[in-house]
Structures are given as structure tokens and as C-alpha cells.
């Protein structure tokens, strides 16, 4: 036995116990694996959405099973019974007819069976015949007689079959006609009944559909089985939902893969109405008309979700999808709720909702104003207007069309004095709190005040050194400030400038402190002819007389900024100057050469030298025209693809903010120099972006635009490409914006024309120019823009002379015409009046008392000249050459539709004429007659004059 004991190294019984325990553990672990594999975050969401859907559907069902509906159904059932009762009388007739119908059906069936085999026979014979003939044709010369007779035989047979089939077909047609007639007869008897049955079935099926839906959604044994582990591969109700976009791509660096978005796995209610108030992730998309729904222009099936929202579309849990919080509070909330933290490994995390409009830029970048993308449009406009584009290149922006943000400094000597300029440059906001000019000095990474003051002094000295002389035109006289104030308020200055409390737009500088800046002679010259001082200026001429210019100037110089005037001028510090000049000279020179050069420079030379270097360093030329810097390159980083730049390439320094593009932009714009915090840098290494004067909303808009500057993967066919008309509209939009037409005119429904708030009556405000393209003739429009002429003599506001080039005018005219869908033609369509219509027109003109408001002779307003504001109307002599003759017809039809709030009454509401006696009371004919009469008024006037 001892041997046997030796045979076993271990106690087998013990091993078996261990084996048993290990097996149980293994089994449990395998169960854990299955559970772990089975339980997914998204299933939880799908289950709770199911519950919500059941609730919603139950609501629907309740609606369907309401008593009123039940009553309605009962009523229909009762009617049906009555109908059946009444049909009993016709029972025999009906039975007879149905019997006939059956008989017919039988006959048709029999005939059809025969016909089918006959037709097959015919086809076969046809083939034989054709084959035989082709074969004999080949050897036509030696055709054997037997063959020819065979051909003849076949032909005969073919004909026989043709006739047979033809006969049977016509019999069949006859039978079918009989059957249809019979059927119609039966139907007409049963019409009421079948209608009732149908409506009843419809109501019942609706109920059934809802009930089925509930049954499907409700937890049941069958559904539990479908979703149970191991069986859930067949047809589970809980499943990952995905949208595959074949022609949109995710760029995975080495390979582009079709976009796959699984967002709808959890965002289950996104395209369903009725979940607007449901909690996330089930909420309905807030704008189903524009996005997501299959009838919208951006359907979910073709655009997916991440095309606009970014993020990892393939992920199916909260963290990996790359959700991005809108605010810090939301981030904290998510951290607690979902264990959220920023997604590390995905190049394009989701866009925080407030910046989501940036994605529009991917496809719509050709449109200056993208509909509904308010933030983005504003951001892009700011980027251009604030001068960002002067330092930062963005490829694709029309560079030559973007105006520099600041005024030209090429003649600065003639406009302001160095003392003012230095104080201004040191702190622009102390002079004009709402200025566009950003602050370069006194920021967080500033060196000592002496150094900065020296820099300011040097830059100003340089600017005056490079400036040309400018002598204002001499206009003598005394200005009346009170008269000037009245003019400023009336003639339209406020369309662009703010003065004190009066503010319409911040397009042009606020004039509330202008008296501390400029002197009267320059101001008078500038007001009279802005292009004299600066040929490039966008300031138009309001055609002021000498006296008017003197008055306005006299008023403006009374507007002063006293605290600013009392500020001390920045002073030059000799040590700082020497140090900085030395620093600049050192680039490219040895120390010895630097010393020699320094010794040879006069004090003025040093200051100007430093000033030029600093002008270059700070990039002043990005916004201002400065002599000598015409070809200078941009000093800032190119931003074309800034938001595709890897996060690692942004230097956040020691600033503790989230490492996302958006937070970098926000921080940078808010405090441009903050990333220097805690760093050791030399003067030239320091950040130099200036501090802009932006509100939080403006910052958000700008960040939205910057977030859209990405590498574009959108295929050509998905881009919004402009057609000819849209292109013309777009071209004009920029010019209209740059000239600030919206300051005085309504340029788009509800946009612009705010200056109107300074007049009592809307008739006294500059007219709306919505629909201008349809209204006026091209030639007239061209002349008008070139040299505005008076149309509404009662207006105090003046249409300025902008000094447009012919090309610019062309762009504007084409813009308006394209916007109104007016065909571009070489000549306008003119009315062709007949004698009859002229006579009728004259009658109408008289009876409708047009002359009460409109003048028809030169230089007159209305009939008497003394009229109330509501009766002011343009002189009709202008109409022939000014207005498009087709438009006059539209105008007369319904003036209020074309220009809401107009003083012109509509005489033909719903094309009903108030005067039934003329032209048989036909409104359309009357309108045309009236138009014909109006456009011939100048001729009539000429004739009268000759007499």
C-alpha cells in the first residue's frame, strides 16, 4: 500500500475539492463577463425612452378612445345598420346583378385561358415564318419550289392565327366593358354602405395601430427574450441605431472613413415631435424645420449629427462621444452625473452648443450673411471690421474688398496734433470709450511706464515724420453752433455717427468728444469734401454749403472731453530710448558697430528710428495706411485652419483654463497678453496682440467664427454653391454693408433704417429700399447713385454722394435687381399707351384725386404746397424715367405689400375697382390705363410748356 500512496504526489480528494471550487468560480466569472458585456449605457436610455414613448402613445390612445370618438363610431355603426336595412329592398336586384357578374368573370377567365395559348401559338408561328423567309432570301436565286410553297403555307397559317387572336381579343374587351358597367351599377347601389364601412375601418385601424405600438414597446416576455443575452443578435428591440453618410468623411489621418453617427442610439426623440420638454438625451431638436427631420434641408439621414456638432459619432457612451459643456457649471454637473471629463483622444471634440453655428461655415462660406446663423455672421463681420484680418490671414476672405479698420495716417499732420495722438495711443478708451481702436499699452504684460511712454512718444513722432503736409481749403465765415446741432440731427449724420445720447449705429466714430481732437478749418474742409483729406475714406459728402459746413463744425468743436484734455502727455525717457534703439540696432550689427551707429545718430533720428521699428512691431499698418508700410506682411498667425490645429500647439502658459480651442480664443480675446503670465520674456518675445473693446456677446460671436476655421472635408457636391442670381446678390451685400446703407434705409425686411426714430412720421424717414431692384430703372438708378437727385423734397435727411465708381454702382444695381428677380436687360420694357387707355387713365387720375398728394408739374409738392406729412408723395413727372413700368402696375395693385407703412392708399383691394363706370370696371385694365397716363405726364408737361 505504501507504493500506491507514492503513486499520488497530491491528495486526489483535495484536488477534486479545489477543482470543484475553481470550476464554480470560473462559472461565476464567465457570468460576470456576460453581464459586463451585456449592460451598456445606451440600453438604459433606450429602456427609459421606451417608457416615455409608451406614456405618450397611451395618451394618443386615450385621445382615440375618448367618449366623443366612441359616440361618433357608434353613430356610424347605427347608420350602417340603417343602410343595410334599406338595402334589403333591393336585395333581389343586387343578387341578380352579382350573379351576372360571376357569370361574366367565368367567361372572361375561360376566354383568357384560350387566348393565352393562342397567343403563344401565334408567336411560335411568327418565329417559324420569319426564320423560313430569312433563310430563303439568302439564296434567292436558287429557291426551291418546295421551300417556296412551305413559306406560302406558313404565311397562310400565320394569318389565320392573327385573325383568331384578334377576334378573341375584341370579345374579351367587350366582356370586360360589360363587367365594368355591371360593377359600377352594383357600387352605386352600395356606395353609402362601403363609405361607412371604410370610415369605420379607418378609425378602428388607427386604434389598432396605436395599440400595436404600445404592445410592441411595452415590456413583455417576448421582448425580454428578444433582448436577452445570447439571443439579442436576432431581432432585438434595444439596438444601436446608426446613420451612415457615404459621401461625408471622418478624417482619421491615414484614411478617410465614411461618417457613421450613432448619436440617435441615445438621442431617441431628436426627430420626433412631442418630446420638446423631455429631459436629455430624449429632447426633440429645437429646429426641426431646418434640421434633422427628413423634410428639412439638412435631413439627419444625409447630414448626420457630427457634420455640424462635431464629436466622435461612432461612440455610444457619454464620455467617448466627446460631449462639450457650454459652461463651467454644466461641466461640473456632468462630472458628477456622468463622470465626464474632456475627451483626450479625438481631434474634433463636440462643439459647445453656443458655438455650433460655426459649422455652417463649412458649406456656406460663400455667403456673407448665412441665414439663421446670427452669431457666426456677427463674428465674421467683427473679424473684418475690428481689423483682426489685418494681422491674421484667413485664406478665402476677399482681401481686396475688406477695408482697413482704421483711418489713413498718411496726412495725420493736417488733422490732429502730436500731443493728442500720444495720449490717444497710450489709452484710446480714455478719449472715446466705445472706440474700435484697441489698447496696446498698459496691459498685463506691460513693461515699466517709462518704457511704454517712450514707445508711444516714438511711434507718434514717427507717424508725424512720415506724414504728408495737408492744408485744408480755406473757408471763411462764422458758424452757428445751434444751427449746426440742428443740421447734425436732421441731415443724416446720425445714420453712421453717434453724437452724445443720439445713437443709431456704431459704424463710424462717435463724435461726442470730437472737439478735443480736431480743429475747425480741418473739420470744415472734411465736411465739405471728405475725399480731399483722404481719397480712400468711406465718409460720403452730404453736399453741404459753406455756411452749413461752418455751422456743423462750430457745433462739433463744442463737444469736448475735458478729463482727457487734462491728461499729461507721455514723456520720452532717454535711457529707455537708448536701450531700445540699441536693442533694435543689434539685429545684424556687432556691438562695436552699434555703438558707432548710436553715436552718429541725432536725438530725432533715434526717436524716428525707434518709432518706425515699433510701428512695424505692433503692426499699426494692419489697420491704418502708413507711408512706407504698403507692402508690409501681416504680423499675426495665419488663422485659416486654426481650429484644426492640434491642441498641443497652443501655448496656454501657466494659465489654468480648459485646453480647448474655444477656451483659448475666449481667454486670448478677453486678455490678449495673459499667456505671458509667469514667463520670463524679453521685450520682443512678449505677446503683442492689443486689447479690443468687445462685449461678451461679441466675444462669443467672434469665437464662433474662429471655431469654424477648419480644414474642410466636405465634398464639392455638398457645398452651398451660389447660382448666378445668388452670386450677384452676394456681391452687392458687402458694398451695402461697407457703405452702411442700413444706417438710413431699411435694406432687408426689418433690417436697417434706424435713423427713422428721429422723425415723427415714417414718411419723413429715408425710404425703405427693399424691392428697389423691381421699382426703379437701371439707367435712372445708375445716375442717382452717381449724383443723387431730389425725389422727396420734404425729406430733411440727404442721400449722400458716395463717389462710387461705375463698377461699384454696377454691383449695387445688379444686387438689387437680382434680389427682386428682375431680368438683366439692356433696355427697360416701356409702356405702350393707346388712345383709349390714356383717356381712361386721365379720367381715373382725376377721379382718384392723385393730384392731392402728387405733384405733376416741376418743383411742386402736392397741389398746394402746404400739405400734411401723410400726404407727401414724389413728383409724378419722375415716374417715366425713374420707375420700372411693370413695377408701377404692381405698386398700384397693392402699395402696402411692396412698402409697408407707405402713405399711398390702395385703390384696388383684391383687384376690385372702386369706379365701375370706367373700362367696364376691370381693375387690371384701369391700373394699366392709370400707369400709361402717369408715364406720359412729362410729354404732356412739355406740350403745355410749349404753349
Note the residues at the interface with another protein (CB under 8 A). 6-10, 12, 15, 18-19, 22-23, 25-26, 29-30, 32-33, 36, 252-254, 344-347, 646, 648
Q: In this complex, which beta carbon is closest to another protein, that of residue 22 or of residue 568?
A: 22
Q: In this complex, which beta carbon is closest to another protein, that of residue 39 or of residue 829?
A: 39
Distance of closest approach, residue 264 Cβ to another protein, in angstroms: 23
Angle at 275 between CA 274 and CA 279, to 5 degrees: 160
Asked if residue 122 lies in contact with residue 130, where contact means CB atoms within 8 angstroms, the answer is no
Say how far apart CA 217 and CA 54 lie, in whole Å: 6
Distance of closest approach, residue 37 Cβ to another protein, in angstroms: 10
How are the residues of the chain apportioned to helix, strand and coil, as percentages rounded to the nearest 5? 55, 5, 40
Distance of closest approach, residue 29 Cβ to another protein, in angstroms: 5
Say how far apart CA 577 and CA 726 lie, in whole Å: 56
Distance of closest approach, residue 20 Cβ to another protein, in angstroms: 11
Query: What is the biggest distance separating any 2 CA atoms in the chain, rounded to whole angstroms?
Result: 155
Distance of closest approach, residue 25 Cβ to another protein, in angstroms: 6
Distance of closest approach, residue 257 Cβ to another protein, in angstroms: 9
DSSP 502: B
DSSP 317: S
Asked if residue 729 lies in contact with residue 815, where contact means CB atoms within 8 angstroms, the answer is yes
Q: In this complex, which beta carbon is closest to another protein, that of residue 176 or of residue 711?
A: 711
Say how far apart CA 369 and CA 866 lie, in whole Å: 44
Distance of closest approach, residue 699 Cβ to another protein, in angstroms: 28
Distance of closest approach, residue 521 Cβ to another protein, in angstroms: 59
Q: In this complex, which beta carbon is closest to another protein, that of residue 3 or of residue 501?
A: 3
Could you please report the per-residue DSSP string of 625-655? --TT-TTPPP-S---TTGGGS-GGGS--TT-
Distance of closest approach, residue 449 Cβ to another protein, in angstroms: 31
Distance of closest approach, residue 322 Cβ to another protein, in angstroms: 10
Helix (H) or strand (E) holding 246: strand 243-251
801-834 burial, b if ≥16 CB within 10 A, otherwise e?
Answer: bbbbeeebbbbbbbbbbbbbebeeeeebeebebe
Q: In this complex, which beta carbon is closest to another protein, that of residue 7 or of residue 920?
A: 7
DSSP 344: S
Q: In this complex, which beta carbon is closest to another protein, that of residue 22 or of residue 153?
A: 22
Q: In this complex, which beta carbon is closest to another protein, that of residue 254 or of residue 826?
A: 254
Distance of closest approach, residue 295 Cβ to another protein, in angstroms: 35
3-state DSSP assignment of residue 468: coil
Say how far apart CA 882 and CA 888 lie, in whole Å: 10
Q: In this complex, which beta carbon is closest to another protein, that of residue 346 or of residue 617?
A: 346
Q: Enter the C-alpha cell of residue 326.
A: 457650454
Distance of closest approach, residue 220 Cβ to another protein, in angstroms: 31
Q: In this complex, which beta carbon is closest to another protein, that of residue 9 or of residue 716?
A: 9
Q: Enter the C-alpha cell of residue 357.
A: 453655428
Residue 186 class from Cβ within 10 Å (0-12 exposed, 13-18 middle, 19+ buried)?
Answer: middle
Distance of closest approach, residue 328 Cβ to another protein, in angstroms: 23
Q: In this complex, which beta carbon is closest to another protein, that of residue 33 or of residue 201?
A: 33
Distance of closest approach, residue 11 Cβ to another protein, in angstroms: 11
Distance of closest approach, residue 30 Cβ to another protein, in angstroms: 7
With both helix axes pointing from N to C terminus, report the angle between 885-893 and 923-935 in degrees, rounded to the nearest 10: 130
Could you please report the per-residue DSSP string of 776-810? B-HHHHHHHHHS---S-TT-SS---B----HHHHH
Give the strand pairing for 256-261 and 746-748.
unpaired
C-alpha distances (whole Å) from 181 to each of 235, 417, 513, 926 are 49, 103, 94, 53
Q: In this complex, which beta carbon is closest to another protein, that of residue 345 or of residue 946?
A: 345
Torsion of CA 287, 293, 294, 300, to 10 degrees: 100
Q: In this complex, which beta carbon is closest to another protein, that of residue 20 or of residue 398?
A: 20
Q: Enter the C-alpha cell of residue 418.
A: 502730436
Residue 447 CA to its chain's centroid (Å): 45
The values of phi and psi at residue 691, to 5°, are -90, 115
Distance of closest approach, residue 345 Cβ to another protein, in angstroms: 3
Residue 325 CA to its chain's centroid (Å): 24
Asked if residue 835 lies in contact with residue 527, where contact means CB atoms within 8 angstroms, the answer is no
Residue 555 class from Cβ within 10 Å (0-12 exposed, 13-18 middle, 19+ buried)?
Answer: buried
Distance of closest approach, residue 9 Cβ to another protein, in angstroms: 5
Say how far apart CA 860 and CA 878 lie, in whole Å: 12
Q: Enter the C-alpha cell of residue 454.
A: 517712450
253-290 burial, b if ≥16 CB within 10 A, otherwise e?
Answer: eeeeeebebbbbbbbbbbbbeebeebeebbebbeebee
Distance of closest approach, residue 43 Cβ to another protein, in angstroms: 18
Say how far apart CA 744 and CA 609 lie, in whole Å: 45
Q: In this complex, which beta carbon is closest to another protein, that of residue 10 or of residue 233?
A: 10
Contacts of 630 by beta carbon, 8 Å cutoff, 6+ apart? none
Q: In this complex, which beta carbon is closest to another protein, that of residue 250 or of residue 271?
A: 250
Q: In this complex, which beta carbon is closest to another protein, that of residue 9 or of residue 109?
A: 9
Q: In this complex, which beta carbon is closest to another protein, that of residue 682 or of residue 695?
A: 682
Q: In this complex, which beta carbon is closest to another protein, that of residue 36 or of residue 807?
A: 36
Q: In this complex, which beta carbon is closest to another protein, that of residue 344 or of residue 592?
A: 344
Cis peptide before 227 (omega within 30 of 0): no
Could you please report the per-residue DSSP string of 77-105? HHHHHHHHHHHGGGHHHHHHHHHHHHHHH
Amino acid at each position: 500500500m505504501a507504493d500506491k500512496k507514492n503513486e499520488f504526489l497530491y491528495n486526489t480528494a483535495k484536488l477534486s475539492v479545489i477543482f470543484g471550487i475553481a470550476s464554480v468560480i470560473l462559472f461565476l466569472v464567465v457570468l460576470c463577463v456576460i453581464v459586463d458585456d451585456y449592460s451598456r449605457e445606451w440600453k438604459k436610455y433606450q429602456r427609459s425612452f421606451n417608457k416615455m414613448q409608451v406614456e405618450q402613445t397611451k395618451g394618443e390612445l386615450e385621445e382615440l378612445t375618448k367618449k366623443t370618438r366612441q359616440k361618433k363610431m357608434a353613430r356610424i355603426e347605427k347608420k350602417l345598420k340603417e343602410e343595410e336595412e334599406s338595402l334589403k329592398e333591393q336585395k333581389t336586384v343586387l343578387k341578380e346583378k352579382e350573379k351576372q357578374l360571376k357569370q361574366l368573370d367565368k367567361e372572361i377567365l375561360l376566354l383568357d385561358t384560350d387566348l393565352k395559348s393562342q397567343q403563344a401559338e401565334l408567336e411560335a408561328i411568327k418565329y417559324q415564318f420569319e426564320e423560313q423567309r430569312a433563310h430563303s432570301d439568302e439564296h434567292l436565286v436558287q429557291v426551291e419550289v418546295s421551300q417556296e410553297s412551305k413559306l406560302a403555307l406558313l404565311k397562310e397559317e400565320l394569318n389565320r392565327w392573327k385573325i383568331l387572336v384578334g377576334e378573341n381579343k375584341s370579345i374579351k374587351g367587350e366582356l370586360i366593358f360589360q363587367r365594368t358597367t355591371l360593377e359600377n351599377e352594383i357600387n352605386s347601389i352600395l356606395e353609402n354602405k362601403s363609405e361607412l364601412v371604410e370610415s369605420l375601418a379607418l378609425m378602428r385601424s388607427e386604434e389598432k395601430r396605436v395599440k400595436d405600438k404600445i404592445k410592441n414597446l411595452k415590456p413583455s416576455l417576448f421582448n425580454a427574450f428578444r433582448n436577452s443575452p445570447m439571443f439579442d443578435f436576432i431581432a432585438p428591440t434595444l439596438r444601436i441605431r446608426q446613420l451612415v453618410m457615404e459621401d461625408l468623411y471622418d478624417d482619421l489621418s491615414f484614411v478617410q472613413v465614411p461618417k457613421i453617427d450613432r448619436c440617435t442610439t441615445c438621442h431617441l426623440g431628436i426627430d420626433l415631435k412631442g418630446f420638446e420638454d423631455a429631459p436629455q438625451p430624449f429632447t426633440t431638436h429645437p429646429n426641426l424645420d431646418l434640421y434633422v427631420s427628413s423634410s428639412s434641408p439638412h435631413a439627419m439621414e444625409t447630414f448626420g449629427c457630427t457634420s455640424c456638432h462635431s464629436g466622435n459619432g461612432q461612440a455610444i457612451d457619454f464620455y467617448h462621444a466627446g460631449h462639450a459643456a457650454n459652461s463651467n457649471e454644466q461641466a461640473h454637473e456632468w462630472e458628477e452625473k456622468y463622470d465626464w471629463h474632456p475627451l483626450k483622444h479625438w481631434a474634433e471634440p463636440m462643439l459647445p452648443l453656443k458655438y455650433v453655428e460655426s459649422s455652417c461655415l463649412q458649406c456656406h462660406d460663400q455667403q456673407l450673411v448665412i441665414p439663421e446663423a446670427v452669431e457666426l455672421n456677427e463674428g465674421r463681420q467683427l473679424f473684418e471690421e475690428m481689423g483682426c484680418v489685418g494681422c491674421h490671414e484667413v485664406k478665402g476672405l476677399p482681401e481686396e474688398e475688406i477695408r482697413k479698420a482704421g483711418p489713413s495716417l498718411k496726412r495725420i499732420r493736417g488733422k490732429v496734433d502730436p500731443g493728442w495722438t500720444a495720449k490717444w495711443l497710450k489709452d484710446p478708451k480714455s478719449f472715446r470709450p466705445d472706440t474700435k481702436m484697441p489698447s496696446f499699452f498698459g496691459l498685463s504684460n506691460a513693461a515699466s511706464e517709462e518704457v511704454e511712454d517712450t514707445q508711444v512718444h516714438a511711434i507718434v513722432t514717427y507717424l508725424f515724420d512720415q506724414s504728408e503736409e495737408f492744408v485744408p481749403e480755406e473757408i471763411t465765415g462764422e458758424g452757428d453752433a445751434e444751427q449746426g446741432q440742428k443740421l447734425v440731427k436732421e441731415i443724416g449724420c446720425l445714420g453712421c455717427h453717434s453724437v452724445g445720447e443720439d445713437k443709431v449705429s456704431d459704424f463710424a466714430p462717435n463724435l461726442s468728444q470730437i472737439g478735443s481732437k480736431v480743429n475747425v478749418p480741418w473739420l470744415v474742409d472734411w465736411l465739405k469734401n471728405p475725399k480731399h483729406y483722404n481719397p480712400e475714406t468711406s465718409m460720403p459728402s452730404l453736399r453741404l454749403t459753406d455756411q452749413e459746413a461752418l455751422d456743423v463744425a462750430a457745433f462739433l468743436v463744442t463737444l469736448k472731453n475735458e478729463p482727457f484734455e487734462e491728461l499729461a502727455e507721455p514723456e520720452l525717457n532717454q535711457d529707455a530710448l537708448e536701450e531700445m534703439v540699441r536693442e533694435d540696432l543689434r539685429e545684424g550689427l556687432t556691438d562695436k558697430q552699434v555703438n558707432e551707429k548710436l553715436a552718429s545718430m541725432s536725438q530725432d533720428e533715434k526717436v524716428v528710428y525707434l518709432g518706425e521699428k515699433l510701428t512695424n512691431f505692433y503692426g499699426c499698418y494692419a489697420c491704418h495706411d502708413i507711408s512706407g508700410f504698403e507692402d508690409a506682411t501681416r504680423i499675426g498667425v495665419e488663422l485659416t485652419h486654426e481650429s484644426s490645429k492640434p491642441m498641443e500647439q497652443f501655448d496656454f502658459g501657466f494659465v489654468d483654463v480648459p485646453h480647448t480651442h474655444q477656451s483659448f480664443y475666449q481667454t486670448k480675446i478677453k486678455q490678449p497678453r495673459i499667456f505671458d503670465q509667469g514667463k520670463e520674456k524679453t521685450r520682443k518675445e512678449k505677446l503683442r496682440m492689443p486689447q479690443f473693446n468687445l462685449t461678451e456677446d461679441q466675444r462669443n460671436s467672434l469665437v464662433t467664427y474662429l471655431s469654424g476655421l477648419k480644414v474642410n472635408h466636405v465634398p464639392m457636391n455638398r457645398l452651398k454653391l451660389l447660382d448666378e442670381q445668388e452670386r450677384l446678390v452676394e456681391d452687392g451685400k458687402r458694398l451695402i454693408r461697407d457703405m452702411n446703407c442700413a444706417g438710413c434705409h431699411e435694406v432687408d425686411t426689418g433690417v436697417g433704417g434706424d435713423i427713422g426714430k428721429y422723425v415723427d412720421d415714417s414718411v419723413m424717414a429715408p425710404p425703405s429700399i427693399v424691392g428697389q431692384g423691381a421699382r426703379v430703372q437701371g439707367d435712372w438708378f445708375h445716375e442717382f447713385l452717381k449724383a443723387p437727385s431730389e425725389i422727396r423734397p420734404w425729406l430733411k435727411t440727404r442721400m449722400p454722394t458716395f463717389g462710387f465708381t461705375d463698377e461699384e454702382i454696377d454691383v449695387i444695381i445688379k444686387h438689387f435687381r437680382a434680389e427682386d428677380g428682375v431680368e438683366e436687360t439692356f433696355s427697360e420694357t416701356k409702356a405702350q399707351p393707346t388712345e383709349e387707355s390714356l383717356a381712361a387713365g386721365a379720367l381715373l387720375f382725376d377721379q382718384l384725386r392723385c393730384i392731392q398728394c402728387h405733384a405733376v408739374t416741376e418743383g411742386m409738392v402736392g397741389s398746394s404746397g402746404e400739405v400734411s406729412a401723410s400726404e407727401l408723395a414724389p413728383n409724378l413727372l419722375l415716374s417715366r424715367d425713374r420707375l420700372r413700368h411693370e413695377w408701377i402696375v404692381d405698386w398700384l395693385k397693392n402699395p402696402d405689400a411692396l412698402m409697408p407703412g407707405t402713405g399711398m392708399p390702395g385703390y384696388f383691394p383684391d383687384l376690385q375697382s372702386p369706379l365701375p363706370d370706367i373700362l367696364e370696371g376691370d381693375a387690371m385694365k384701369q391700373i394699366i390705363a392709370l400707369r400709361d397716363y402717369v408715364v406720359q405726364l412729362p410729354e404732356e408737361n412739355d406740350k403745355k410748356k410749349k404753349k
